[in-house]
Structure 1
Amino acid sequence: MDDSRHPFAGLSRRTMLTGSIAGVGTALAYGSAAAAEDSVEGPRQDGPTVPGAGTYENGSPHITTTGTWSTLSSRADSGGSISYSTSTRASATLAFTGTSVSWISRRTSSSGINEVWIDDTLVAAVDRYSPTTRSRQTVWTSGTLPAGTHTITLTRGSTRNPASTGSTLVLDAFLVEDTPAPPTPPGAGTYENGSPHITTTGTWSTLSSRADSGGSISYSTSTRASATLAFTGTSVSWISRRTSSSGINEVWIDDTLVATVDRYSPTTRSQQTVWSSGPLTAGTHTITLKRGSAKNPASTGSTLVLDAFLVEDTPAPPQIPVPAPIADWTFTESTAPYDSAVAGAPALLQGASSTAEGISTPFGGGVRFNGTTDFLVVPKSDVGVLNVGASTGAVTVAAWVLSTDSNNANIAGIWEESAVGPLRSYALFNDLPDYGGDDMVCMEVSKEGGPTPGYPFSIDYSAEPRKMTRGVWELHVGTYDGGLAIAYLNGESTSYPEYTDKQGATYAKNPYVYPDGLNAAPGDFMVGAVGRDGKLINLHKGGIARLRVWDRALTADEVRALHAAERVDLG
């Protein structure tokens, strides 16, 4: 039976339980879930030991729920049934011991966009909409978690796909895995062909010669022959022979084909560096050689030969320092006002009718916006150092953003679209489709404070051409140095060299050339929305964390360093 046959409740914010956020209960608390229609009992203190690897069906006593849940039976589902809820504040929590967890559910025409929380931190928003019912779907998986005890919580949320007829939360099962940590791969050094660290497939033979590294080579003529080394380092080289019977062999790094190497030589040449990776990111990698089926026309065979692998591990260069911002909101408070960690910057206040609330995020604190009424503001009378149009004329806005709907949104900036003004100056936006920024990070700037002359709206923004990913945390950055506006996604800015707008004008969108400077008239500094003559537009739905403003344009290297330093918090 499809859950789309049942009526669904209206939308609402997530609940606060036992002092935690977003319907996430005490991390190790357990309760007894009713099979159908009944509200669930609260956490009980004498629950069992936190369970380990296994499949936890929707009716498992290890799963604690809030709200009213019902059960539908079907052989198509794991364990023969699903549990579903249309309660505004519905949630389901499992505490477990393991290294990964997956959510098994249905995708249906009445499914909502539901939130996933790991260890009390919002990590994803999952759209389960499907025009036809699909059972036993792995709709989300955590990836690798640190070994130990964790919690996963699903919350119904208040969002749905525009095509969906409801916002139901459906749980079929949780799948927990507990994979022992693999041994640390070896580091820098020479790994001869007979090394126990090298694994092979196919039939291999050994030839001894003083001319070879370590006194021998291994070779194979098997069709599917391969040799793999897992290592920790920043580069790897393949040492081999070049011979008259050598093939054109494949080199794979981290399961990606990176090169084909023709080792043919009319005369035998030993201890040859036939391929080198160049710099790799510091950490663990694999190199795999595959025989393949190609050969040089002059070769008498397609033999794969391994003499040795040479691994190097060069220390990373010193990290580029990122200048201190003029404002840094870490959102450690549970609700507004949110103070800046930098002295002299104003606090963010709750907007009129706003209920934006503090949440836990991978970066510490954050704020959740409902997309309809929530925003934070610094009134124009108090913007102070944020009015960079009256000081340096340059700016950077950076924030970690989790977007849970498909609408365009203001993240932060002085951007007040009032008929009385002009009051626009700078702002970091998501998804400005009218002038080339559809589903992109955009940095908008203005000297006039109103629409671009000759246009109904402002066209003056850069757009990073790579598309945003909804439902995951991303670093969005916009910079302006007085001449160029540049948009960045996850530490990188991609060239967007040509865009033709609705009026036939053609220009680059990233970077965007704008030599006019910034408006110096103080306007409201808005977070999560824009004000237009007393109404709210460009409302953000989702989370914002680590919001910062600089009175200068960060360089590309500084933005890259900012992302590198903070992405580790994502795990």
Structure 2
Amino acid sequence: MKQADTQAAGANRMASRATLIASVASLLVASVSLAAEPTGDPSVVKEMPGLVAFWTFSEPAGEERRSYVGPEEFPLVEVGGKIDRVEGGPYSGYSASLDGKHHLKIPYVATGRLNISGPDAEVTMFAVARIVDLRRSRTIAGMWCEGMGAHDDSGTRQYGLLMNMPAYGGGNKLVPHISSEGGVTRRADGSPFPWCCDYAVTKHDVPTEEWCTLAFSYDSKYVRAYINGKLDKRELDPAKDRRTDPYFTEQGPAFHGDPGPDGGPGAKDRGMNPYYHGRGIFAYDPAKHANTKIMGGSDFMVGARFAIGHTREQTVGLFGGLAVFDRALSNDEIQQLHDSARVDLLNQR
């Protein structure tokens, strides 16, 4: 009897231990699953026509961040050291944590279909991010090499989703840039500005300390800037926006014989958002530009850009999703991308 009781007690202890181990394992699995649970639906981005690359930042620190759409993976390489992966993100459950000292890039020679250029080129960029400090954080991503500084024409700018550029009315705003020259902007008579000044400017500031979506499109004529899925329209105020030059006030779509952004008659001025550009995207040619743009074509960079002779103004914040398309998405399509991220749920965590 005693032997039977002892065996029963031992069996009970083993069963309890097994139950405890199973419970702990279950809790660990649940915790891991919950931590990496995405809020959004990546299929909406992947199925959007024209997609070139889509990064969800699921990889841990020390690894290349890869796009898993199409034949090209477009690996983003860490620059300056390892970039932490943190829990919480729209499409993979994770995001890349940029600290203002590191960034990601693809060398120019490996940019492939990201090297969007030409007189009729179109592009859209969509990002899900949590920006922390706009004084330091100026760049989301793009192919945007500015060269050596003011009045320098050696840059190989193409397209870039930038923030907080106050020179021409863009302080704390979303300011997507397009360049047809690579270097400084030139008026119709060929005279140069000190900088590239072709960019749209939103009405509202870029949200900080919260998850949001930021996007822009370019249809070879107009640059449009979006915050949280909405085209954040803004009219030109020449004096307030420091855009009194005739390039802004007189050389708009009407001057070039182009229609307005909604298909109606073109305005005299270029506007602010949408912003009329109308000259396509710069295409770097190693032979043609061998003596004038000696730094070569622009890398694709995330969280930083090359300006005034070095990489600068590296972004502080979290990046949970980044997509590039080789066409101009419509307002409705960009709203669909925004909705797919469910930033409202991210901001509840």
Length-normalised TM-score, structure 2: 0.68
CA contact (8 A) 2:50 2:326 kept: no
CA distance in 1, matches of 2:271, 2:305: 25
Contact preservation (8 Å) 2:77, 2:106:
yes
State how 1:263-278 maps to structure 2 within 5 Å: none
Query: 1:380 Cα shift?
Result: 0.7
**Which residue of the partner structure matches residue 312 of structure 2?**
537
Structure 2 partner of 1:491: 229
Residue 140 (structure 2) pairs with residue 411 (structure 1): yes
Matched AA of 2:85 = G
What is the aligned-residue RMSD (CA, Å)? 2.8
* DSSP-derived class of the 1:337 partner: coil
Relative to structure 1, the CA distance from residue 418 to residue 483 in structure 2 (aligned partners, 3 Å threshold; closer, same or farther) is same
1:345–1:386 CA contact under 8 A, matched in 2: no
Preserved contact between residue 345 and residue 384 of structure 1 (Cα < 8 Å): no
Aligned equivalent of 2:280: 517
Native 8 Å contact 1:405 1:470 kept in 2: yes
Task: Name which of 84, 87, 90 aligns with 1:357.
Answer: 84
1:345 touches 1:385 (CA, 8 Å); kept in 2? no
Gaps of 5+ in 2: 1-19, 21-33, 37-46, 187-191, 250-269, 285-296
Secondary structure of the corresponding residue to residue 333 of structure 1? coil
User: Could you say which structure has the higher strand fraction?
Assistant: 1
Q: Shift in Å at residue 323 of structure 1? A: 2.2
Query: Distance in 2 between the 1:534 and 1:347 partners?
Result: 25
2:308 & 2:81 partners in 1: Cα distance? 17
Out of 129, 152, 157, which is 1:424 matched to? 157
Question: What are the within-5 Å matches in structure 2 for residues 18-29 of structure 1?
Answer: none
Question: Which residue identity does 1:432 align to in structure 2?
Answer: M
Q: State whether structure 2 residue 53 is matched by structure 1 residue 327.
A: yes
Cα drift, residue 547 of structure 1: 0.6
Letter in 1 for 2:312: I
In the other structure, the counterpart of 1:133 is none
Find the counterpart in structure 1 of residue 189 from structure 2: none
Output the amino acid matched with 1:540: T
Verify the 8 A CA contact 1:429 1:441 in the aligned structure 2: yes
Question: C-alpha displacement at 1:503, in angstroms?
Answer: 5.7
CA contact (8 A) 1:411 1:527 kept: yes
Kindly state the Cα deviation for residue 120 of structure 1 after the two structures are TM-superposed: 5.0
C-alpha contact 1:392 1:552 (8 A) present in aligned 2: no
One-letter identity of the residue aligned with 2:242: K
Q: How far apart, in 1, do the equivalents of 2:329 and 2:194 lie?
A: 31
Per-residue deviation, 1:464: 1.8
Superposed counterparts of 1:465-484, under 5 Å: 465-484=203-222
Q: In the aligned structure 1, how far is the partner of 2:82 from the partner of 2:337? A: 30
Which structure has more RCO (C-alpha within 8 Å, separation ≥ 6)? Answer: 2
Counterpart in the other structure of 2:102: 374
Q: Where do 4+ consecutive residues of structure 1 move more than 6 Å?
A: none
Shift of 1:495: 1.7
Q: Secondary structure at the match of 1:416?
A: coil
- Cα 1:394–1:361 shift into 2, 3 Å: same
Residues 21-61 of structure 1, C-alpha deviations (whole Å, 9 max, x = no match):
xxxxxxxxxxxxxxxxxxxxxxxx9xxxxxxxxxxxxxxxx
Any unmatched runs of 5+ in structure 1?
A: 1-44, 46-118, 122-320
Q: Once the two structures are superposed, what CA deviation does each residue of 1:371-400 show, in whole Å capped at 9, x if it has no partner? A: 1x2110111111110011059611011111
In 2, distance between residues paired with 1:379 and 1:452? 25
Matched to 1:508, the amino acid is: G
Counterpart AA for 1:559: I
Which SS does the other structure have where 2:200 is aligned?
strand
Structure 2 equivalent of residue 196 of structure 1: none
Cα distance change on mapping 1:549 and 1:391 into 2, 3 Å:
farther
The match for 1:340 is 67
Deviation at 1:361, TM superposition (A): 2.1
CA distance in structure 2 between the partners assigned to 1:544 and 1:514 by the alignment? 29
Q: TM-score, normalised by structure 1?
A: 0.42
Q: Please tell me the residue identity of whatever aligns with 1:403.
A: I
Distance in 2 of aligned mates of 1:337 and 1:354: 12
Counterpart residue number, 1:460: 198
Deviation at 1:406, TM superposition (A): 2.7
Contact 2:234–2:273 (CA<8 Å) still a contact in 1? yes
Contact 1:331 1:358 in 2 (8 A): yes
Aligned-residue offset at 1:555: 0.4
Tell me the equivalent position of 1:548. Answer: 323
Shift of 1:563: 1.1
User: Which one has the largest radius of gyration?
Assistant: 1
TM superposition shift of 1:355: 3.2
Q: 1:399 aligns with which of 127, 130, 146?
A: 127
Distance 1:354 1:524 in 2: 18
Q: Which amino acid aligns with 2:123?
A: V
Aligned to 2:175: 442
Aligned mates of 1:512, 1:544 — CA distance in 2: 26
Counterpart AA for 1:409: R
Letter in structure 2 aligned against 1:389: S
Q: Distance in 1 between matches of 2:307 and 2:227?
A: 27
Task: Return the alpha-carbon distance in structure 2 between the equivalents of residues 324 and 451 of structure 1.
Answer: 29
Q: Distance in 2 between matches of 1:503 and 1:495?
A: 17
Query: Once the two structures are superposed, what CA deviation does each residue of 1:292-344 show, in whole Å capped at 9, x if it has no partner?
Result: xxxxxxxxxxxxxxxxxxxxxxxxxxxxx732511011111112311111131
Q: Distance in 1 between matches of 2:124 and 2:283?
A: 16
Within 1, Cα distance between the matches of 2:275 and 2:178?
A: 10
Instruction: Report the number of matched residues.
Output: 259
Which stretch has the larger CA shift, 356-365 or 517-526?
356-365
Q: What secondary structure, in the 3-state scheme, does the structure 1 residue paired with 2:231 have?
A: coil
CA 421–345 in structure 1, closer or farther in 2 if over 3 Å, else same: farther
- Looking at secondary structure, tell me which structure has more helix per residue: 2
Structure 2 Cα separation of the partners of residues 472 and 528 of structure 1: 17
